[in-house]
Chain A
Amino acid sequence: MYLFHTEADRRAMLDAIGAASMEEILRQQIPADARFQRPLELPPAVSEMQLQRDVTRAAAENASTASHVCFMGAGAYDHFVPAAVDAIASRGEFYTSYTPYQAEVSQGNLQAMFEYETLITQLTGLDVSNASLYDGGTAAVEAVIMALSVGKGRRRVVTSATVHPEYRQILETYLHALDCELVIAPLDESATAENLLPLIDDDTACVLVQHPNFFGHLEDVRTISDKAHEAGALVVQVFDPISMGLLKRPGDLGVDIAVAEGQCLGNPLAFGGPYLGVMACRQDLVRRLPGRIAGQTVDRRGNRCWVLTLQTREQHIRREKATSNICSNQTLLALRATVYLSLLGPQGLLETAQHCHQKTAYARQQLAGIERLELPFEGPVFKEFVVRDRERDVIGLNRTLREQGILMGVPLERWYPELEDCFLVAVTEQRTRADIDALAGALSNAPTQGVTAGA
């Protein structure tokens, strides 16, 4: 397969070692009571041809954005990925390289990481960025943990039901281990986070808000951050990198730490991962930032160059006192984001955001006119909105539309019992007017449950 040694090589190597056989070495190394005595029961080895046939068949069983028109979002989006992103990321010198601890032979990665960090500070309006974390949800949690370590002794984290429910679930898991209190403002009719304001108190280390929020709505981050800062708490904002083409940046709204899911920046949907955790913060928090950081310096000849820096925060130096246990990161996905943002530039990002915003408005208008549907929440949105099915058959609708080649949205019942008859529709720049009209058409023509049951 991918092995090198011929039988003659193996013989010669054993001779050099001074071992009669491989078995001799193994017997010497692995005690008899720990030795596995039978062959592994795994599917037999297959050739590249056979593997490709099998996997292609399995892949063909899945619906995808290649076979269907996608209106699904909820934290993972079908944005366009330019070919140049794939061309760069598929260079072996990038994707088969190691973590750039040896700076002399890693300047390509290190410079790209430094450029990524700069782009993220430009995107967020904050001072510093790390070189990436696992994904949006764990980045949000790492930000909260940072805030807890800043607010020594404060044990309360305040958030809102309008933050991505899976991010809140991860937070619950982690905070349980750290013995902290998580307070969640419930969903109200405005579908915004204003009702978290009274929950902020002197014990609050951190307020976590998402803007645009999980339902696509805009939050009043400025008011939330003013109130939080008055109480001595930090503000963490989950933001949408694409929305930065149109919306005020976290750094312009008084936010202390901004985090995001960076999948939307040139990374494939890939059934949930690997994704890209984006994190930026104020300068004074830099030594509490988790994850790797590339920094600028000079070499012994005086040339500008880049290295991994502030490593004393990290687990391989600080062990149990590290800011986080994170070791690997998502460099390759950060590279893709760097290429993506370089290709878009300010004008490209602005236009992408405009497409999302305007097409979402158009979709909202079209769907509002369909009798069976209702839009439960008012107010401005960016690229997502909630739709209610008066027939209370989201699952049936979903199936019907999928059969017509449309992934209509994300059912909300799993996380919001009060929205069991609702789904979340996302509209990216990739959707055309014809796509949206087809969605509206399919939704208005879908058989109602009564008809289905009677058929």
Chain B
Amino acid sequence: MRNTQSTRLLFELSQPGRRAALLPPLDEQITAAAEPLPETQAADGPPPLPELAEGDVIRHFTNLSTLNMSVDTHFYPLGSCTMKYNPKRNERLAALPGLADVHPLQDDDSVQGLLRLLYELQQMLAEISGLPAVSLQPAAGAHGELTALMVAHAYYAQRGEDRRVVLTADSAHGTNPASAAMAGFETRAVKSSPEGLIDVEDLRSKLDDQVAVFMLTNPNTLGLFDHQICEITQAVHDAGALVYLDGANMNAIMGLSRPGDFGADMMHYNPHKTFSGPHGGGGPGAGPICVRDFLEPFLPAPTIARDADQDHYRLEYDRPESIGRVRTFFGNTGVLLRAYFYIRSYGGDGLRQVSEDAVLGANYLLSKVKHILDVPHGDRCMHEFVASASKLKKEQGISAMDLAKRILDYGFHAPTVYFPLVVDEAVMIEPTETESKETLDAFAEALFRVTGESGDLVHEAPHSTPISRPNDVAAARKPIMKWTPKDS
């Protein structure tokens, strides 16, 4: 049944002289106007791209697509990544020519409809976060982190304070310390307590007049809402530092708790998680940030402004205190619009229900999984939880990786494994609100069955997938990063 011929590489399917795209002939008067390019600049010929018919291309990529799992076809209990259903209406609407075929440098008068939607999105993001000033520019969550840290840098520079340190939680996403390094800060890690929360004493001992920002994730990567959050943010503020919230887990608290209210000064959203933008196999995302009023002047240019008396929207480039520009053009508009459509579809009460159902689903799955694996950080959680395969590994030789690989055979995507780093043999599970009780039951059942299987069967898993256990070490040792012709 499987078509293996068309999943050979494009370059192996190529036949000299075969073509798909045809252009119309050039008008004689046009050709007459052109002078040949200077010899020093002109290539001898076009690049050696593959030569294919349109039918080749469609069959090739269609067959490739069937080798992927996806949200449309499978359940992804993928902790931290929030793989929820991607509404089809959002795709249709984002593709409307009046949105998709707009040039980024058109003048404001010619994009009023678009600017209005984006302006409204800014207001919605501000309301959900409790932080009033918004920049839609950053291209991804990590880019939002970097942008906000630059904002903090500019804020302290203006105050004449030389603060060079960013504190991050040891359970934080790797992007936190990486973004801090790119923004020119030195990073120091704050320990987690045995309960998996921020160790407040350790935090206090590291807060001094060198600290610019404390970056935290709440609910954190263990799926726990820090019960001392207000005390923590107060301590940071008392030290004259700012609190940054990694908004990766906003899907758990919409309408239930607001970062601005619990003391965050800056945060980013991941609209491709919280607001259902499709992951696209790894991107595109977007990373809009929200900040307090006193940080607004430093946000990147341009922002969207509204002249209320004329009901006119414009891009504001004249921002003298701004950190400057962080990307080309305005922002990842296509991703942002999908977030807008999602929020409009749910409204405020609907978003709260989304978060409640995400929390309900996670707790339900936790109630089942705790009988299968150890869950070191408690009986209850927010939208995700972290189990440990440590005992399973010791007693049966089945590691978190084995578990992840074997679960693929049961038709489920693997959970996130080996993250967060603070849990040994971590298995991080996030069901999201868009999975039924039956699906969660089936997943728990599969997990249970795997833990009873023989080591040999599990070590060689998966068995039913197109490939199994690729050799990552060989790939990294002698990287092959492109196809090369056999005879070369």
Contact = CB atoms under 8 A, between A and B. Distances in A.
Interface string A229-262: 0000000000000001111110010000000010
A314 B262 CA distance: 32
Residue among B37, B65, B329, B468 facing the most chain A CB atoms (10 A cut-off): B329
Interface stretch (B110-118, B199-207, B288-296, B388-396): B110-118
A31 to B, nearest CB: 5
A416 interface: no
Given A65-B101, A96-B71, A107-B68, A244 B43 contact: yes
Residue among A2, A9, A249, A335 facing the most chain B CB atoms (10 A cut-off): A2
Interface string A41-67: 111111010011011111111111111
Interface in A315-340: 315-322, 324-333, 335, 338-339
A371 interface: no
A96 B107 CA distance: 34
Residue among B34, B184, B229, B317 facing the most chain A CB atoms (10 A cut-off): B34
B467 A348 contact: no
Given A137-B327, A297-B480, 5 more contacts: A92-B72, A244-B43, A270-B99, A327-B140, A342-B56
Given A25-B380, A88-B62, A346-B45, A407 B475 contact: no
B26 to A, nearest CB: 6
Contact of B334 (A17, A173, A220, A268): A268
A128 B474 CA distance: 18
Interface string A154-188: 00000000001011011011101111000000000
B37 A246 contact: yes
Contact of A342 (B20, B334, B467): B20
Contacts of A64: 97-103
A380 B45 CA distance: 19
Interface residues of A, number: 206
Nearest to B224: A29
A109 interface: yes
Contacts of A84: 20, 54, 57-58
- From DSSP, what is the main secondary structure of chain B's interface residues? loop
Contacts of A13: 360-361, 363-364, 437
Contacts of A361: 30, 33-35
A210 to B, nearest CB: 13
7 contacts: A1-B345, A42-B347, A55-B93, A102-B413, A105-B413, A347-B19, A361-B30
Contacts of B329: 75-76, 135, 166, 271-273, 275
A70 B360 contact: no
Residue among B43, B146, B356, B434 facing the most chain A CB atoms (10 A cut-off): B43
Contacts of B81: 98-99
B69 A269 contact: no
B71 A62 contact: no
Residue among A164, A274, A314 facing the most chain B CB atoms (10 A cut-off): A274
Interface string B1-18: 000000101110000001
Given A92-B72, A177-B182, A345-B18, A25 B363 contact: yes
